[in-house]
A and B are shown apart, each in its own frame.
Chain A
Amino acid sequence: MSDHFSGPRSLTDPAADISDVFAFPDPKDPRHLVVVMDVFGKSGPSAVFSDAVIYRFRIRSIDIAATGREAAFAAGKSEVIFDCTFDVPSGPATAGRPVQLGRCLTPSGGMISFVCDDENGGAGEGVQVFAGQRSDPFFLDVRMIEKTAATGKLSFKPKGSDTLFGTNILAIVLKIEWPMVLEGGPLFAIVCETLAAGKRPVRIERVGRPEIKNVTLSWKMFDQVNKDLEIRDLYNSEDAFDVKHDYFDAYRVRMNANLAFYDGLDGKIDWPFDKHANHPLTKLLLADFLVVDASKPFAEISYFEIERAMLAGRPHTTPGGRWLNEDIMDYVFTLYVNGGNGPPVNDGVDGPIAFSSKTFPYLAPRNVPKGAAA
């Protein structure tokens, strides 16, 4: 029977699948900016990073180009890149985990070596690096999000069910002494990518803002132009700082349609389309990078505050970016549904199994499966 199979189905490698990106000033040291890339959601204890993937952090200095209804960013052309790569695990597993070595190539060409899961990580040239398995800091109720899209009614329950409760991810954490290591600033745009290594690295995935691809772009049924298009693979292949003009309209139309759907969930329009027939958030969200102001002190709740300030024509007051413990789904749904003009939308899930700490490497230790703990 082993000679038969119905064609290859498992084309993807979970270790190249980015689940979340975070960026925030170090809570205890404002001279440091922290960026985090999570991959391999719901990973079991044996999960390791791929040796065929470059895990890339791209950081550009960015300016606010316009405020008000035409709010927009202008990203600089030069950027700094941190590339993390990993070896095939060697040696016996410790504490149920394979031993894997990794290295981070810094913008100056220096190499920082580290052992995965070592909480001290590796350090050099103003950068500290951690990589390893940790508790997934993200929390949400996927079923009720799907139900909301399917029924056209906000379906969250007062007490939701965290789809990611007790699950683990593989995380890479960079703590960067930004005045020394980064160019420009203090406003930075951050994108994380996975690339197939090789002579000409090919982008597999990119992530900047949270829930752009799944919550904001994935629904096809509201899009009157590209109803059948699975747009996310195409979107992933784009350079976040230089989206191809040919496809931009496909993303724009899809996002306009889906944002309009969310805006209508409370029975009123909080985001009237502009004179170009665009949702006011579309252009900012399609600038799909996390924008963080490294000169501002750490804040627990800060995602999209810079952009909201731009839309309102006022100075921002927080670092923006995204902190690990922030309740992003509540924020995103409130933003999309009523723009803050109504009661906060609560998805009924208010935290992960374990909150992240304010000390490197920040993310909570991995959850040990019940059998292994016994």
Chain B
Amino acid sequence: MTDLSETFAPEFRLEPLVLTGGSIAVLNLQAQIEGLEGCDSLAEAASLIDLLMLQGLILGRISNYERAAQLADRLVDVAATDSVAYVTRGRTRSVFHRFTEALDDLDQAERLSPDDGAAKQERATVLLALGRYDEALLTYGNAADRTGRFQDVAALAGFWAERGETVTAERLYLQSLGSYRGISPFPIALLDFQLGVMWMRLERLDQARTCFETAIHRVPAYAAAQGHLAEVEAALGEPEAAIARLNPLAISADDPDYAAQLARILGEMGRNDECLGWRRLAASRYDALIKDHPAAFADHAAEFWLGAGDDPQRALRLAELNLRIRKTPRAHELLAQALEATDGRGT
């Protein structure tokens, strides 16, 4: 069984983790969801929402997030005095980058249950996404120090990966693997992916590739890892491999990122006819998503319009929107790219 820890120096290597095969895990995730459909207890409804979001994350299904958000609204309607309902809804709102509303939900959850650990953890996620790093770190660090549990250490590893602090992120990644007591491959694959994104942003493509390949080894159907690996392959001069990897995703996933990537790579290869079809598909899908969820897709759509979409003015408007939502370094960087693409002519 491949393990990312094998890429580290021998003294840091761990015994390979024993995890359920990725194809079984995906089947059983679907089986869990189907088994919980129609359940009316609060705990089961909250579990169903979490599982739908996990499946959406793994398979690249935006429709899952949309359904989860609808169910979470209903949950708050029927369980308005229970903090679990608000934490769950806050989580779905956070996924759609509705951060202010998410924080409102978490405030309400903590009013109802002041010691709600889940609300605190979810708040840290929102603060991280908003670029309020010091506040997020306080929660992540405290939880990891206090419990040493896998999920808390892994969340802290994810924080430092997001911040690009490679040494700390790697150390905590290994610590997470060492403390993992589960057999589900999902939490570990998600962590591999986060590390891969960290390396990718730092343009350390070989390391990024190893991380994404490890995530895919654990869960072959992990769409975001496949998509990012394709991006790395293309950057490393292997566009045919990237295209082969992206084609099935662009067809099956309702997330337009894969069609957008495919259009970009085909365009760069001069295969303009093929590029055009994927570009149209991505454009129409981004338009629809921006209409329904402007905050959630402003950044990715802006990237598309800056690249294969070739509409810098539209990219600029979206990059401005993205910066209004969260003032992170990457949001500033995206806006700078859009301004440069429009020669500084703002909207």
Which A residues fall within an 8 A CB radius of B?
Answer: 1-16, 40-53, 88-89, 98, 142-143, 167-168, 196-199, 202, 204, 369
* A369 contact set on B, CB distance < 8 A: 34
Q: Do A88 and B23 touch across chains, with their CB atoms under 8 A apart?
A: yes
Across the interface, A10 reaches (CB within 8 A) one of B15, B51, B152, namely B51
Counting CB contacts under 8 A, is B28 at the interface? Answer: yes
Given A8-B150, A11-B150, A47-B31, residue A1 in contact with residue B95 (CB < 8 A): yes
- Nearest B residue to A50 via CB reads B20
Alpha-carbon gap, A6 to B181, bound state (A) = 19
* Stretch of B76-84, B185-193, B206-214, B259-267 at the chain-chain interface: B185-193
Contact (Cβ within 8 A) B125 A4: yes
- Tell me whether B190 and A5 are in contact (CB under 8 A): yes
Task: For the complex formed, measure the closest distance between the CB of A54 and the CB atoms of chain B, giving whole angstroms.
Answer: 10
18 interchain pairs (CB within 8 A)? A6-B91, A7-B152, A8-B154, A8-B190, A9-B50, A9-B187, A10-B54, A12-B182, A13-B20, A14-B32, A40-B28, A42-B36, A43-B28, A46-B27, A50-B21, A53-B20, A88-B24, A89-B24
Taking a contact as CB atoms under 8 Å apart, the answer to whether B224 and A3 are in contact is: yes
Q: Which 7 A-B pairs have the closest CB atoms?
A: A44-B34, A8-B187, A7-B155, A6-B125, A47-B31, A42-B35, A44-B31
- Contact partner of B151 (CB less than 8 A), chosen from A9, A14, A48, is A9
Distance of A168 Cα from B255 Cα, bound (Å) = 33
A369 shortest CB reach to chain B, Å: 7
Given contact pairs A13-B182, A51-B24, a sample of 19 additional A-B residue pairs in the complex whose CB atoms are under 8 Å apart = A1-B95, A1-B296, A2-B224, A6-B91, A7-B125, A7-B152, A8-B155, A9-B187, A10-B187, A13-B184, A40-B31, A42-B35, A42-B39, A46-B27, A48-B28, A89-B27, A142-B41, A167-B35, A202-B18
> Contacts A6-B91, A12-B184, A43-B32 given: A1-B300 contact, CB under 8 Å?
yes
Closest-CB distance, A219 to chain B (whole angstroms):
15
B residues in contact with A6, CB < 8 Å: 91, 94, 121-122, 124-125, 155
| Chain B 137-153 residues near chain A, CB threshold 8 A | 150-152
Tell me if A143 and B41 are in contact (CB < 8 A).
yes
- In the complex, per-residue mask of B29-62: 1 if CB is within 8 Å of any chain A CB, else 0: 0111111100101000000001100100100100
Which residues of B (160-188) have their CB < 8 Å from a CB of A? 180-184, 186-188
B125 touches A46 (CB 8 A): no
- Complex: chain B residue closest to A9, CB-CB: B50
Given contacts A11-B151, A15-B28, A89-B24, A5 and B41 within 8 Å (CB-CB)? no
Contact in complex: A14, B28 (CB < 8 Å): yes
Name which residue of chain A comes closest to B19, CB basis: A52
Q: Which residue of A lies closest to B299 (CB)?
A: A1
A49 to B20, CA, bound (A): 9
B150 touches A1 (CB 8 A): no
Query: What is the minimal beta-carbon distance from A365 to any residue of chain B, in angstroms?
Result: 17
Contact, CB under 8 Å: A8 / B15: no
- Closest CB in chain B relative to A216 CB, distance in Å: 20
A4 CA / B328 CA spacing, docked (Å): 14
Which B residues are within 8 Å of any A CB, using their own CB? 15-16, 18-21, 23-25, 27-28, 30-36, 39, 41, 50-51, 54, 57, 60, 65, 91, 94-97, 121-122, 124-125, 129, 150-152, 154-155, 158, 180-184, 186-188, 190-191, 197, 223-224, 255, 257, 296-297, 300
Which residues of B are found within 8 Å of A50, using beta-carbon distances? 20-21, 24, 28, 183
By a CB distance below 8 angstroms, the chain A residues around B224 are 2-3
Chain A min CB distance to B35 (Å) = 4
With a CB–CB cut-off of 8 A, which chain B residues contact A198?
15-16, 18
Are A52 and B95 in contact (CB-based, < 8 A)?
A: no
Contacts of B24 in A (CB 8 A): 15, 48-51, 88-89
User: Which residues from chain B contact A45 at a C-beta distance below 8 Å?
Assistant: 31, 34
Give chain A residues whose Cβ lies under 8 Å from the Cβ of B129.
4
Complex contact B297–A1 (CB within 8 A) = yes
User: Do B187 and A46 touch across chains, with their CB atoms under 8 A apart?
Assistant: no
Question: Is the beta-carbon distance between B21 and A2 smaller than 8 angstroms?
Answer: no
Q: How far is the CB of B224 from chain A (nearest CB, A)?
A: 5
Closest approach, in angstroms, between the C-beta of B128 and any C-beta of chain A?
8
Assembled-state Cα–Cα distance A9/B320 (Å): 33
B31 and A10 contacting across the interface, CB-CB below 8 Å: no
Residue in A2, A41, A43, A143 whose Cβ sees the most chain B Cβ within 10 Å: A2
In contact, A2 and B54 (Cβ under 8 angstroms): no
Beta-carbon contact of A89 and B23 below 8 Å: yes
Question: From A199, which residue of chain B is reached at the shortest CB distance?
Answer: B15
A52/B20 in contact, CB under 8 A? yes
CA distance A41 to B24 in the complex (A): 16
Residue of B95, B152, B183 touching A204 (CB-CB under 8 A): B183
Contacts of A12 in B (CB 8 A): 182, 184
Q: Which residue among A49, A143, A198, A199 has the maximum number of chain B CB atoms within 10 Å of its CB? A: A198
Contacts of A51 in B (CB 8 A): 20-21, 24
* B57 lies within 8 A of A46 (CB): no
Find chain A residues with CB under 8 A from B186 CB: 8, 10
The CA of A174 and the CA of B60, in the complex, are separated in Å by: 41
| Most chain B CB atoms below 10 A, which of A13, A16, A167, A202 | A13
